[in-house]
Amino acid sequence: MLRDAVRSLAEAKIAPHAAAVDEEARFPREALDALTANDLHAVHVPEEYGGAGADALATVIVIEEVARVCASSSLIPAVNKLGSLPVILSGSEALKKKYMAPLAKGEAMFSYCLSEPDAGSDAAGMKTRAVRDGDFWVLNGVKRWITNAGESEFYTVMAVTDPEKRSKGISAFVVEKSDPGVSFGAPEKKLGIKGSPTREVYLDNVRIPADRMIGEEGTGFATAMKTLDHTRITIAAQALGIAQGALDYAKGYVKERKQFGKPIADFQGVQFMLADMAMKIEAARQLTYAAAAKSERNDSDLTFQGAAAKCFASDVAMEVTTDAVQLLGGYGYTRDYPVERMMRDAKITQIYEGTNQVQRIVMARNLP
């Protein structure tokens, strides 16, 4: 029922704008409005904080169905979870009450600020500093590649509170867009997910009350990594949705397109490609849903499963979207058809929330 409801909404209210959002590289406002009106913009927020209380699998299905028509728009529910999960996992009761209610109501979005210009895969090498000043912390630094920066009201920011201790000297904070000293860089000009703004976040003597720290001092990096264990599954879902959208489009096209006097779907060479695409998608779906169940139960092998789901599903999305372009021939290579957008959008799923090389490092360190 949830899938049917989200699919209908996505096809009616999000799909019609997907090409323009990409072409104009603009924020998918129509998608945000439609998702918010149907309480699908941040489904993961627990009911006790005013949210829809969707479990990890339901959240995955929402993201998958939105990504099937518009990958940029699927980053609204996905990044709302990424940005706010540190607070849900490690924040005080007061922080949860304060920040989850506006998120659940659709009054505010949440972004996640881990990466920096010189600290990507080696996130613990970050330089952003937080220095204690009485009942306040003062933050200085640059966060890079922040999804939905400028659109979000709230930001989970990881910053160094003790430079001697590397990852154990990093703490997490909630920073608000309206805090004096917060500003944003120009939107990055990207290959894909062009509707999702990616900008730098500048922190210039941002003075915030001490109770905005998420969890204990020095636990920010652990919280950031624990968050990714759960949210990599949402990127797997995004990849899955993009791949399914490409397969669905190609499936329809090959029945219509005629060469050598018959639909190209009649050629076994084309059929074998479609079979492989569907097989890979189904394998990615099973792995992703199993990982979502593990996320919900907080199983001990979640770190491996989350990395495996993200890595596998994103590699599948890249292969399947590339094959979809192939099945449309020259037409697939043009912006008159959606599959080239899907191929460009798929690429990012192999890069963010840790590149797929990093996922393989994570898996190797946590072999089942």
Q: Which residues bind ligand FAD (CB under 6 A)?
A: 111-115, 120-121, 145-147, 190, 193, 198, 348, 351-355, 357-358
Find the shortest distance in angstroms from Cβ 115 to ligand FAD.
Answer: 3
Which residue of the set 64, 65, 116, 353 is catalytic? Answer: 353
Active site residue 200: no
Q: Smaller CB distance to ligand FAD: residue 81 or 280?
A: 81
CA angle 22, 26, 31 (to 5 degrees): 85
* Nearest to ligand FAD of 192, 332 (CB atom): 192
| CB of 143 vs ligand FAD, minimal distance in Å | 7
Whether the Cβ atoms of residue 146 and residue 171 lie closer than 8 Å to each other = no
**Is-contact 22 77, C-beta < 8 A?**
no
Nearest distance in Å: CB 273, ligand FAD: 28
d(CA 43, CA 77) in angstroms, rounded, equals 7
Nearest distance, CB of residue 204 and ligand FAD, angstroms:
19
Residue 141 zone, left/alpha/beta (φ > 0; ψ -120 to 50; rest): left
Closest separation between CB of residue 83 and ligand FAD, Å? 8
Distance of alpha carbon 296 from alpha carbon 301, whole angstroms: 12
99 and 173 Cβ atoms separated by less than 8 Å? no
Strands, E assignment, the chain:
110-113, 129-133, 136-147, 154-160, 170-176, 182-184, 198-209, 213-214, 258-259, 262-263
For residues 92 and 356, which CB has a smaller minimum distance to ligand FAD in the complex?
356
Q: How far apart are CA 10 and CA 147, in angstroms?
A: 21
- Cβ-based nearer residue to ligand FAD, 247 or 343: 343
DSSP annotation of 345:
H
Q: Which is nearer to ligand FAD, 91 or 192 (CB)?
A: 192
Q: Active-site positions?
A: 353
